[in-house]
Amino acid sequence: MASVGGEVALSGLQATMTRMRYPPVIPTRWIRRALARLHRRVRGATALEWTLLLAAIALPSYFLVLVGINLLTAHYDLVRTVNALPFP
């Protein structure tokens, strides 16, 4: 660091480091405003509730039915194979 006219001249990296904030600043004001705006909106509340119900109840039920059907078909195949065996 050289002194220029009584002021300390910083290198490029040092100047950049002095301008940076540590720890890095997270834009919390922007996030808070977005969440407050979302909270104030009630226009789509019913649609959101139905979407959450669909996601929480209907989709898991659909996958349980699929698994149940697969188990039933596998059991049916097993029984059919056993019934097709010749008598000893």
Ordered DSSP codes for the chain: -EEETTEEEPPHHHHHHHHS-SSPPP-HHHHHHHHHHHHH--TTHHHHHHHHHIIIIIHHHHHHHHHHHHHHHHHHHHHHHHHHSPP-
pLDDT at 11: 64
**Residue 12 pLDDT exceeds 80:** no
Domain boundaries, the chain: 8-84
Q: Rounded to 5 degrees, what are φ and ψ at 3?
A: -90, 125
Q: How far apart are CA 82 and CA 70, in angstroms?
A: 18
**Residue 10 pLDDT exceeds 90:** no
Q: How confident is the model at residue 17 (pLDDT cuts 50, 70, 90)?
A: low
